[in-house]
Amino acid sequence: MSEKRTLRAGLIGLGMMGRHHARNLRALEGVELVAVADAYGDPHGAAPGLEVLPDVDALIAAGIDYAVVAVPTQFHKDVALSLAAAGVHTLVEKPLAFDIGEAEEITAAFESAGLVGAVGYIERFNPALQEMRRRIADGQLGEIYQIVTRRQGGFPARIADVGVVKDLATHDLDLTAWVAQSPYAQVAATSTRRSGRKDEDMVSVAGRLRDGTITNHLVNWLTPFKERVTVVTGEKGALVADTVNADLTFHANGENATNLWESMASFRGVSEGDSITYALQRKEPLATEHEAFRDAILGDSANIVTMREGLHTVRAVEAVLESAREGSVVELDAGPGA
């Protein structure tokens, strides 16, 4: 780190996710959690010894260097813009905002102020996906052909204001573009409602990234077991990440000869090769996310999810919802500042 002083952190939102942010902020080296805010108090006892302030203005008045925003998505814009205006570096829980317009406004505010702004896509910090990204960057798979994700399980009672696309599929859209280092160019989605709620609870998305990688995502709240799997297939094999258990497995392309007779000589096939499951250091992803944001404030922003990346993901989410609603393939443009 380039600086030794202790950073003063504030947290707004002490609900289901906020309590975990509070725990990690209290344990984070070089950081002191000095102020928390929530209009509804501290139902989980996440911040003992701290006065629970009523709003973001009171949080700012406490004299903080940076803030973590864990309020419901519909309040992200107002809270984030207040923090930007006050010159406070900010980590906003995913998704960045409720719609594209709000996400663009937030991103512009932090970029124009020269502040560190990030979005809390915790899945990126799962040990299995961090190692997957490193290995892909090192060329282990060669050219990437396809990325497939499955995120399935039961309905979480904490969800009140969004459907499965904005709550869960947003993770897959973010991590897929990150793993491939290419944004979405096109999506085609189908969704349904089977649980009696007004929002969708199951979606299937077929997509294509700008670099030509094809993608597929199955996401729902209707499966009686939990599954969190990402499969990246390339010319040299496939990497499979199980983010529930933080496991990463490599399946090599055995490259056995397929030209056993003349008519097959031009076919470039693959075959089963060796498989290996890597031994990973299983650190809590949220702790890694907080370390990355602290380091970004101190000058090393290599490992955060920037607000501009969060904006791209909001665009992809809105395209998925539009595709499912209209029954059409939706093309994504780069957007301003891409």
pLDDT in tens, 205-248: 999 999 999 999 999 999 999 999 999 999 999 999 999 999 99
| DSSP strands (E only) in 61-169 | 66-69, 89-93, 117-120, 144-152
Q: What is the Cα–Cα distance from 321 to 325, expressed in whole angstroms? A: 6
For 100, counting Cβ atoms within 10 Å of its Cβ (0-12 exposed, 13-18 middle, 19+ buried), the class is: middle
List the chain domain ranges: 7-123+286-302, 124-282+314-331
For 146, counting Cβ atoms within 10 Å of its Cβ (0-12 exposed, 13-18 middle, 19+ buried), the class is: middle
101 CB-side CA count, 13 A: 2
State pLDDT tens for residues 153-177. 998 776 667 899 999 999 999 999 9
Q: Name the pTM for this structure.
A: 0.89
The CATH number for 124-282+314-331, chosen from 3.30.43.10, 3.30.70.330, 3.30.360.10, 3.40.50.720, is 3.30.360.10
In this prediction, residue 329 has a pLDDT band, given cuts at 50, 70 and 90, of very high
What mean pLDDT is reported for the chain?
Answer: 92
Site of tokens 């999810």: 305
Task: Tell me the helices (H) and strands (E) count for the chain, helix number first.
Answer: 9, 15
Would you give the distance in Å from CA 194 to the centre of its chain?
Answer: 26
Q: Is the pLDDT of residue 122 over 80?
A: yes
* Topology of the domain covering 7-123+286-302: Rossmann fold (3.40.50)
Q: Which residue, among 107, 60, 46, 90, has the nearest Cα to 294 in the 3D structure?
A: 90
Would you give the distance in Å from CA 326 to the centre of its chain?
Answer: 26
Per-residue confidence (pLDDT) for residue 269, from 0 to 100: 66
- The whole-number average pLDDT for the span 283-288 is 95
